[in-house]
Amino acid sequence: MGEHLVETSDLTKTYGALMAVDRVSLSVWRGEVYGFLGPNGAGKTTTLRMLAGLVRPTAGSASVLGEQPGSPQALARTGVLIEAPRFYPYLSGRDNLRVVARYAGVGDRRVDLALDTVDLAGRGGDRYAGYSLGMKQRLGVAAALLKDPELLILDEPTNGLDPAGMRDMRALLRDLGERGHTVLLSSHLLAEVQQLCDRVGVISGGRLLAESTVDNLLGQAGLLVRAEPLERARDTLERLVGPGSVAVAEGSFRLRTDPEQAGRVSRALADADVVLTELRPLERTLEEVFLEMTDNGRTGR
Amino acid sequence: MIGSFKAEILKLRKRPATWVLLGVVLGLTQLFGYVLPYSSWLTSDQNFRTQGLDPQAVLAGVLPGELVPTSLGGFPVFVGALALILGALAAGSEYGWGTMQTALTQRPSRLATYGGKLLALAASTLLLVLVTFALNAAVAGVIATIESRPLDYPSLAELARGIGSGWLIMGMWCGLGAVAGFAFRGVALPIGLGVVWVLGVENLVSAVASSLLTSLQPLRDLLPGVNAGSLVWSLAPGGGSSGEAPPGVIDAVTGGRATLSLALYVATFAGVGALLLRRRDVT
């Protein structure tokens, strides 16, 4: 697939007795949109802070764009928005970006482009203190885009956005991904991550529980069947796909089988004189997988 | 570091607090350096600034010849406190607003970001000293014209020494405010403690060492405010021709030693601030 833009190896951060991040090894490939998922307090933000050079690891190592995290070489090619946008309340949105532009060594011309990208051009002259939460968030994304970075590290970029703002942000992130930018995105909005991301990493209790493509993580699809009488239906289905591939839940059957087997299932049930009331493909959502994994992560601690 | 410097200058220039502090420095300098003494001269009424002084000495203090001591009279104490507030605001606010994270995730290294901030503060304090001297020079010139006195300004060398001393004093207090801002990662505590130190502790230790416990004098002579006051004293012994030294201006150590001490304080504050920013996590 190409080169790793972000790579960590046994990255660890402790605060006294608290293990915030526990030997996390992840990799983000050039050009992908990588979703970093985890419940509150899982260690997402601490990991991202380490990748931005704000927090020093207790153990392990990390590289960003082949450089030390937080080094001028890495920062020059990375746009960062972590946790919440942080700006000077007495300055306008535009002046805040001008400050960021001076730090970043880019010209003021890019300020208006960035404001335009996040649809804040008309409000750029307003004081930041008067911005709504959504406007602040968009300004944070504009600041991250100012350098036209190869890598974007975005922590909950849709926080505080209204539905239209979230849709626009999704479109922006998709566009960035299509234009070859690499995005490391943490989000609670799993449907959004499922739509946007090529691969995801799931972290809970400071430990990386899984790292995979979204498709792999969602696993094998199946079929949902409702039929009566239940006992005869179960016998028929178990004969068809095997006893280990049939689960009963809330009066319905979940078959672990290829959804293209729906025709065979329908015929077998009809032959057994079973009345079929519902038959549809069953796909797990990322949310279900995430909750399953993180609940296990919690109970395992 | 140039980028960081430009960013810091933009922030300071657009920050209302910077202009408020400049206004207060100029206002207080005018009030205590010119308005009260000159009004006393005009009305022949004595106020706390002119109590017991010869009226001619009072007038001399507001004429161009006394520009340096009159301008620097407030630097060891109240201008120092205001410089400390400027430093604490510039450093501590970055933590209060969380903008340290924004600054440190752009391009420059931590030390370059820090260096840019120090340079901007140094430039701001120099500008403040220059504006103070310029305004005072103008006011002294007007008074001299009104009183039909000659426009005998200090020589360029004297002016440069005065401006340099003022800059060193302001830089030292500003540096203390900044290092306290970095240490406490906020604004309130550095300003509160700093002002108590400048206005209270220094004066108290100085007064006790001068009268009650003279064995404390070696300790007193190490204090930053005492060295600032000594440097001003060295430029106009006895408070200059006006004959009354302002609060905080004292004859404790020589001008050379005071200059060296203040320079060491500036270097120490800069070094400690750099160490704090470089080593600690930004959360």
Domains and CATH numbers, chain A: 4-217 (3.40.50.300), 220-283 (3.30.70.980)
Find the DSSP H helices in chain A: 44-51, 72-75, 93-104, 109-117, 133-145, 163-178, 190-196, 214-218, 230-241, 262-271, 286-299
Strands A275-282 and A222-228: antiparallel
Mean predicted confidence (pLDDT) in A210-214: 85
Here the ipTM equals: 0.86
Coil, helix or strand at residue A117:
helix
Question: Taking CB atoms and an 8 Å limit, are A102 and B7 in contact across chains?
Answer: yes
Mean predicted confidence (pLDDT) in A191-205: 86
Q: Tell me the HSE value of A269 on the side-chain side, using a 13 A CA sphere.
A: 24
Question: Taking CB atoms and an 8 Å limit, are B104 and A147 in contact across chains?
Answer: no
Question: Residue B13: closest CA among chain A residues belongs to which residue?
Answer: A91
Return the higher-pLDDT residue of B241 and A16: A16
Mean predicted confidence (pLDDT) in A150-178: 85
Looking at chain B, the whole-number percentage of residues with pLDDT higher than 90 is: 66
Coil, helix or strand at residue B204:
helix
Place of tokens 């000159």: B38
State which H helix or E strand residue A15 sits in: strand A4-15
pLDDT at A147 over 60: yes
Find out whether B152 and B143 touch, Cβ atoms under 8 Å: no
Find out whether B240 and B214 touch, Cβ atoms under 8 Å: no
Q: Any bridge partners for residue A207, and if so which?
A: A204
Question: Taking CB atoms and an 8 Å limit, are B10 and A102 in contact across chains?
Answer: yes
pLDDT for the residue A298:
53
Asked if the C-beta of B119 comes within 8 angstroms of chain A's C-beta atoms, the answer is no
Q: How confident is the model at residue B51 (pLDDT cuts 50, 70, 90)?
A: low
> How buried is A251 (Cβ within 10 angstroms: 0-12 exposed, 13-18 middle, 19+ buried)?
exposed
Q: How confident is the model at residue B209 (pLDDT cuts 50, 70, 90)?
A: confident
pLDDT at B50 over 70: no
Mean predicted confidence (pLDDT) in A269-286: 86
**Which of B106, B281, B282 is facing A103, going by the closest CB pair?**
B106
d(CA B226, CA B242): 21
What residues in B contact A103, CB-CB < 8 Å?
3-4, 7, 103, 106-108, 113
Which of A219-228, B20-29, B109-118, B156-165 is predicted with the least confidence, judged by mean pLDDT?
A219-228
Find residues 43-102 of chain B whose CB sits inside 8 Å of chain A: 97-99, 101-102
Return the higher-pLDDT residue of A158 and B63: B63
pLDDT at A300 over 70: no
Closest CA to A4 of A26, A27, A21: A27
Q: How confident is the model at residue B64 (pLDDT cuts 50, 70, 90)?
A: very high
Place of tokens 């005009």: B42
What residues in B contact A72, CB-CB < 8 Å?
107-109, 112
pLDDT at B97 over 90: yes
What distances in angstroms separate CA A244 from CA A228, A255, B158, one per listed residue?
Answer: 20, 9, 96
Q: How confident is the model at residue B20 (pLDDT cuts 50, 70, 90)?
A: very high
Coil, helix or strand at residue A164:
helix
Structure tokens at A221: 């699809």
Residues A108, A114, A120: CA angle, nearest 5 degrees: 115
pLDDT per residue as tens digits for the range A217-247: 776 678 889 998 989 999 999 998 888 888 8
Closest CA to A259 of A235, A230, A283, A289: A283
Dihedrals phi, psi of B87, to nearest 5 degrees? -65, -45
Asked if the C-beta of A135 comes within 8 angstroms of chain B's C-beta atoms, the answer is no
Q: How confident is the model at residue A5 (pLDDT cuts 50, 70, 90)?
A: very high
Dihedrals phi, psi of A207, to nearest 5 degrees? -110, 140
pLDDT per residue as tens digits for the range B247-268: 778 888 888 999 999 999 999 9
What's the predicted TM-score (pTM) here?
Answer: 0.84
Dihedral in degrees, nearest 10, Cα atoms A156, A162, A164, A166 = 10
Amino acid found at B216:
L
Asked if the C-beta of B113 comes within 8 angstroms of chain A's C-beta atoms, the answer is yes
Place of tokens 């830089």: B171
d(CA B114, CA B179): 11
pLDDT at B52 over 70: no
What residues in A contact B97, CB-CB < 8 Å?
86-89
pLDDT at B277 over 70: yes
Mean predicted confidence (pLDDT) in A197-201: 89
CA distance B195 to chain A (A): 24
Return the higher-pLDDT residue of A12 and A243: A12
Among B1, B13, B106, B283, pick the best mutation site for testing chain A contact (most A Cβ within 10 A): B106
**Which of A56, A78, A104 is facing B281, going by the closest CB pair?**
A56
pLDDT per residue as tens digits for the range A75-133: 999 999 998 899 999 999 999 999 999 999 998 889 999 999 888 889 999 999 999 88
pLDDT for the residue B11:
96
Average pLDDT over chain A reads 88
Return the higher-pLDDT residue of B174 and A289: B174
Q: How confident is the model at residue A257 (pLDDT cuts 50, 70, 90)?
A: confident
Mean predicted confidence (pLDDT) in B223-236: 91
pLDDT for the residue A301:
43
Question: Taking CB atoms and an 8 Å limit, are B10 and A99 in contact across chains?
Answer: yes
Question: Residue A140: closest CA among chain B residues belongs to which residue?
Answer: B102
Find out whether B263 and B255 touch, Cβ atoms under 8 Å: no
Strands A222-228 and A78-81: unpaired
pLDDT for the residue B237:
64
Closest CA to B96 of B17, B9, B185, B12: B185
CA distance A56 to chain B (A): 6
